[in-house]
Amino acid sequence: MAAQPLISEWARVQLPEVPTGHTHSTSLAPQPLLRDMILPDEVLFGAMPDPRLRFKRPLRVQIERTDHGATAQAEDIGEFGYGAGSGDALYDLGKTIAELYFSLNADKERLSPDLEWLRSRLDEYIELRRLPEPADQR
Per-residue pLDDT of the chain (138 residues; tens, 9 = 90+): 555 544 444 444 444 555 555 555 555 555 555 555 556 788 999 989 999 999 999 999 999 988 889 999 999 999 999 999 888 999 999 999 999 999 999 988 899 999 999 999 999 999 998 877 777 655
Q: Is residue 25 part of a domain?
A: no
Q: What is the pTM of this model?
A: 0.67
The pLDDT score that the predictor gives to residue 7 is: 45
Question: Which is it for the CA torsion 25, 30, 34, 39, positive or negative?
Answer: negative
The pLDDT score that the predictor gives to residue 116 is: 94
The pLDDT score that the predictor gives to residue 59 is: 94
Q: Is residue 65 part of a domain?
A: yes
The two beta strands, 79-83 and 69-74, are antiparallel
Q: Is residue 2 part of a domain?
A: no
Q: Is residue 74 part of a domain?
A: yes
The pLDDT score that the predictor gives to residue 130 is: 83
Q: Is residue 15 part of a domain?
A: no
CA–CA dist 2, 85 (Å, integer)? 50
- Bridge partners of 61, per DSSP, are 43
Q: Is residue 71 part of a domain?
A: yes
The two beta strands, 69-74 and 53-55, are unpaired
Q: Is residue 23 part of a domain?
A: no
Q: Is residue 12 part of a domain?
A: no
Decide if 83 contacts 41 (C-beta within 8 A).
no
Cβ-based neighbours of 129, under 8 Å, separated by 6 or more: 51, 52, 53, 54
Count of the separate structural domains present in the chain: 1
Cβ-based neighbours of 73, under 8 Å, separated by 6 or more: 61, 62, 64, 79, 80, 93
Q: Domain range for residue 88? A: 34-128
